[in-house]
Amino acid sequence: MYKTASLAISLLLSMPLFALEITSEDIQEGQRMAKTFEYSGFGCDGDNQSPALAWKDAPAGTKSFAITVYDPDAPTGSGWWHWLALNIPADTHSLPRGASGKLDKVLETRTDYGQPGFGGACPPVGHGMHRYQFTIWALPDEKLDFPLDISPAIVGYTLNSKALAKATLTATYVR
């Protein structure tokens, strides 16, 4: 009995006290995003601004971060990638609104809109509420070396296989 209790306490003490967390002053968990974050094109006429994001409590060994935005509700059979930003330096813990396209040393790869950079929400009219998953990924690599036109699915696969930790904030949008 003593060994079992001792082992349980040791395991609890070895667990991290904090987990990676993502927040935003612009978007809230489960809440509808403002038109500021709607795409400009494909029949949408928003401002196409990436929201301000902040994160904390990255695990030891984090050498870079990545941010992805994904809509699992897109009527494609495979969802829709709205943003893939890689190689964010480990000493960065926030991005301001509208940061996409202005990030030094950050690789923004192709989205499902066919171009790199943030592509805002643009669900089909009448399709109902869509979820937009803003995920921060803590990575053990300083740099992921991909071409700009890499498939978003390959980026997602790579992030899932390498992540030390990830945290997601899910906002919604409807037209």
Q: Are 112 and 72 in contact (CB under 8 A)?
A: no
Question: What are the residue boundaries of the structural domains of the chain, listed by start?
Answer: 19-173
Please say whether the beta carbons of 31 and 134 come within 8 A.
Answer: no
Out of 5-9, 93-97, 161-165, which region has the weakest mean confidence (pLDDT)? 5-9
Q: How confident is the model at residue 3 (pLDDT cuts 50, 70, 90)?
A: low
Any idea which residue has 């000493």 for tokens? 91
Q: Per-residue pLDDT tens for 79-130?
A: 999 999 999 999 999 999 999 999 999 999 999 999 999 999 999 999 999 9
- The CATH fold assigned to 19-173 is Phosphatidylethanolamine-binding Protein (3.90.280)
Per DSSP, the three-state class of 156 is: helix
CA distances from 36 to 12, 47, 95, 107 (A): 44, 5, 16, 23
Q: Which residues contact 14 (CB under 8 A, 6 or more apart)?
A: none
Measure the CA–CA gap between 108 and 18, rounded to whole angstroms: 29
Residue 13, pLDDT score: 47
| Residue recorded with tokens 């790869």 | 109
Report whether 71 contacts 44 (CB < 8 A). Answer: no
Amino acid identity for residue 143 in this structure: K
